[in-house]
A and B are shown apart, each in its own frame.
Chain A
Amino acid sequence: MGILFFTSLGVIQFSGLFALALGRQSRLANSVGSGGALVGALIGLVPAVRLFFTGQIMTVYRPWNIPYGSLSFQIDALSAFFLLPIFLLSAVCAAYGAQYLLPYRETKNLGASWFFFNTLVVSMALVVTARNGILFLMTWEIMSLASYFLVTFEHEKNQVQHAGWIYLTATHLGTACLLALFVLLARESGSMDFDRFESLRFHTDAIAGMAFVLALIGFGTKAGFMPLHVWLPEAHPAAPSHVSALMSGVMIKTGIYGLVRILEFLTFPEAWWGGVLMIIGLTSGILGVLFALAQHDLKRLLAYHSVENIGIIAMGLGLGLFGIATRHPVLACLGFAGGLLHVINHALFKGLLFLGAGAVLHATHTRNMDQLGGLITRMPWTAGAFALGSVAICGLPPLNGFISEFFIYVCSYAALGSPDISGPAGAGIIMGLAMIGTLAVACFTKVFGVVFLGVPRTACAEQAHESGWIMVVSMIILALGCVGVAGAAPWIVSLMNPVIARITGFSAGVVHGHLTIIQQPLESVTRISALLLAGIAGLALIRHRLLARKAVAQSPTWDCGYSQPTARMQYTASSYAQPLTRMFGAFLQTQCQYAAPDGFFPQAQSHLHTHTDDLFTRRIYEPVFRTMVRLLHGLYWMQQGHVQVYVLYIAITLLFLLVWTL
């Protein structure tokens, strides 16, 4: 079993190296890199899937001559649960990327791009299997750097450089916290091995709380918890679309993995941990979708939706933690199951949506939704897949997004019944989820309606064409995944038993007992979904029969008797979202430049331009970093650029330390 796993990683990594060596022979490098990633990822799926059926845990241990380090890997239920989406999405994105990157073959070194892509896949797989702190941090750093180089693919653009810089800063601030976290854990347990962390089982004291906070910041930065999310809306639009899909779909989930893994070491959690996570979840969820609603850039909008979905995951995990802390095993099982299931679901539909956005970008060369429209007749397959992804991300039945949200809803309704603080917490989550759900519907009807429906607003939308077959098939595979998870929901629950048992520390029997209460409702949900689809088909048949022998006419859209409709009369993304952005204007603080038309026959051109910056970037990070730069400028005189001076600094420091220790 270990052989297969490492074979898979080897294939991916060596094909990446080979592609790098091929360098400027772009077409060949493109095929080798993506082909290797595709084959390797498919091989990697085997051990991950097998674990769920055999339950056998794979462990590899080799000594390593780095202090405190050891080459120790383990695929347990939790690792396998994260390996599934990592390998699946990597395979799909690799195939898609091969066709997506072809237009760049003349101008870009595709070999290098595939080298970093494959390195990213390998490092993600290693992150979720590493069992040693040093090893974990090293693979974590490789993952961050590989994704940085992928984000800056089009590094000649100013905007991309800026995005890359923000991502690099954010990810390293997060890693700094992780370093502190592991040093803290190692100080307590005397080793960097996860097995030792686990055997220690910190009990309720300040150290555990501090470790939790460090993990929350460190892993939260990668996952995109608000207010640490600022890199997401910058990096995702800058990256090539198959990379955005992979980063948003699974890379940010390694943050969730890390958090859950650390929680395993820190039993028993205190109630405030769950509370903090829930509040973070609510904030990320609601503000994430609100900021998404105000965007004009398709990929930036999707990036904010990742923040929203990470928020939903955090709500589930928060409820789970709460359940353990307040001794409600039902809440613990349902909450963790809902949060973790959403990890997989989000990987599927967000991967799909980013690939769809990539197809649109590929065909029209713009990410500005207000310049698009009517793409459904030009790109029917992309439009269909995107529509399915939209319904799924809104958490609507009959697709997979609903299943994980249903877990969290049921968990919250169950929490209402308990006399302690769980009641209000459940009520808050219900309100938050309902609001997020409707706002997501608003946002995705906007995206789908403005980009794919109606008539083209500009020439670039008019001349769009369907993407190549590999890209289309990649999207269809993910769409089928969304349908599959929803259809198989009642069976997936039992597969999740070992994962939940691992996190909560309950025995598999206890977890099984608590998760079965959702079994029957899930079966009903599946039945209703099937009946719904049958009903739609039946109604379509009825309408077909009713219209069969009648002349069905076509005419222009009704516009109040006005006979010359133009594409500019359509609602745009901005106007569609305006009532909501105004309702929540206090959070969004949209900046608006408006030159009104003047007089009865206005001569000057009027225009309206709105822009919604990230609230936290503008109000917190920018002022803080500006102040820091100003203060650091004060130390400019120390940097003379002469080697002698720097040697002097070193000598002075050494002298100082010597004196201090004496």
Chain B
Amino acid sequence: MNILHPLLNPILALFLAPLLPGIINRTKAIVAGRTGQPLLQLYYDLFRLFQKSAVYSLTVSPIFKAGPLVGLACIVMGLTLVPMGGIPSLFGFAGDLVVLAYLMGLARFFTVAAALDTGSAFEGMGASREVQFSVLAEPALLLGLAAISQVGLIRPLTALPTAIPLESLSEMLARLSMSVWMADGTVLLLTSAALFIVMLAENCRIPVDDPTTHLELTMIHEVMVLDHSGPDFGMILYAAALKLWIFLALLAGLLIPVRTGNFWMDGASILIGMVVIAIGIGVIESINGRLRLIRVPQLLAGALVLSVMALVMVLWG
């Protein structure tokens, strides 16, 4: 494996991530029969925002200004821990999945604090919902990854392993070849379903949150960033696109069992997988409405149950 290969995911993500929301939006437009926004809309938006000046609320403190910076920095660091299928991540190490989840937690902490800093009722509302949903989403994510960590291992039946292997996310995903899918397909499907729901919640997609709504009362993530403008808002949008990339890369790595060892083949298959999942999100958003906020925890609890089931199956299956 070439030493430059792990750079693929961060570099591709930094350049191509804004394409993903574009793909989702194009899909939605085509399904709905609308002209819709161009594929590269987010690039235009980002470019425009970084050119603009900023307006800050009179009530805010430095915490508000730190929010977008910490958010973007955390997600970029997270990118360095995410493998693309068989292609390892840049900084992978044993236990990196915990760091990945907690970096997103740090980003959430500062996004929420920035929202509360404005003293706005709407932003407080969004912040409150954001932390509520994460309480169910994060255990589902970490347990789902725990299930994957056990798939495809040769489990000792009686003898106790003296040295328990600790693996990085890259090693876990690199193992998921076609034969593992044949053997443990159910576990992987359950985990994928759980992670897919977590992905919808963490990236504020329908049915958890509607990124296109214009009613503050019903929004979650969008309402938290109402007062950000200019470069700050650009960073938030960019970080959101990168976060979607992280989740899609993980999901594609899980769902696409192409592990040929050929760098180009493996990389291309994961990229195609990500595009397909993005189109899938678009279709889901087209045919579903947003859930009532009271129903969202039930959906996320469902994801948690799926993760637990996957783990039970892999531990005792």
Contacts and interface: CB of A to CB of B under 8 A. Distances in A.
Q: Do A and B come from one complex?
A: yes
Interface string B98-131: 1101110110110011001111111111011101
A439 B131 CA distance: 8
Interface stretch (A5-13, A229-237, A554-562): A554-562
Interface of A: 326-331, 373-374, 376-377, 383, 387, 390-391, 394-397, 402, 406, 409-410, 413-420, 423-424, 426-427, 430-431, 434-435, 437-439, 441-442, 444-445, 448-450, 452-455, 517-518, 520-521, 524-525, 527-528, 531-532, 535-536, 539-540, 542-543, 546-547, 550-560, 565, 567, 569-571, 575-580, 583
Contacts of A437: 102, 105, 138
B150 A417 contact: yes
Interface string B137-165: 11101110010011001011110111111
Contacts of B164: 328, 330-331, 414-415, 417-418
A579 B130 CA distance: 10
Contacts of B127: 445, 449, 571, 576
B143 A442 contact: no
| Most chain B CB inside 10 Å of its own CB: which residue of A395, A435, A448, A543 | A543
A525 B56 CA distance: 34
A555 B143 contact: no
A557 B119 contact: yes
B166 interface: yes
Nearest to A444: B109
B73 A391 contact: no
A520 B59 CA distance: 44
A604 B106 CA distance: 44
A391 B122 CA distance: 24
A422 to B, nearest CB: 9
Given A417-B155, A441-B134, A376 B63 contact: yes
Nearest to A562: B121
Q: Is the interface of B mostly helix, strand, loop or mixed?
A: helix
Interface of B: 50, 52-59, 61, 63, 66, 69-70, 72-74, 76-77, 80-81, 91, 93-96, 98-99, 101-103, 105-106, 108-109, 112-113, 116-125, 127-129, 131-132, 134-135, 137-139, 141-143, 146, 149-150, 153, 155-158, 160-166, 216, 226-227, 230-232, 235, 297, 304, 308, 311, 315
A535 B242 CA distance: 15
B71 to A, nearest CB: 10
B63 A453 contact: yes
A554 B58 contact: yes
Given A539-B235, A555-B55, 17 more contacts: A373-B119, A409-B95, A413-B146, A418-B160, A419-B160, A430-B142, A431-B142, A434-B138, A453-B119, A454-B116, A524-B99, A539-B72, A547-B54, A554-B55, A557-B120, A576-B124, A576-B127
B118 A551 contact: no
B101 to A, nearest CB: 7
A437 B104 CA distance: 12
B149 A449 contact: no
A564 to B, nearest CB: 13
A565 B216 CA distance: 16
Given A417-B161, A442-B132, A571-B116, A524 B93 contact: yes
B311 A580 contact: no
B121 A438 contact: no
B99, B119, B124: most-surrounded residue (chain A CB, <10 A): B119
Contact of A535 (B77, B124, B162): B77
Contacts of A525: 93, 99
A395 B73 CA distance: 18
Minimum-distance CB pairs A-B, first 8:
A571-B124, A449-B116, A550-B53, A454-B119, A442-B131, A535-B73, A524-B93, A434-B139
Most chain A CB within 10 A, of B131, B138, B311, is at: B131
Nearest to A560: B216
Contact of B91 (A406, A518, A524): A524
25 contacts: A387-B113, A396-B106, A410-B166, A427-B311, A442-B134, A445-B109, A445-B113, A448-B113, A448-B116, A449-B113, A450-B116, A517-B94, A517-B163, A521-B94, A521-B96, A528-B80, A535-B73, A536-B69, A553-B54, A556-B57, A557-B57, A559-B120, A570-B119, A571-B127, A576-B128
Contacts of A553: 53-56
B113 A419 contact: no
Nearest to B69: A539
Contacts of A417: 150, 153, 155, 161, 164-165
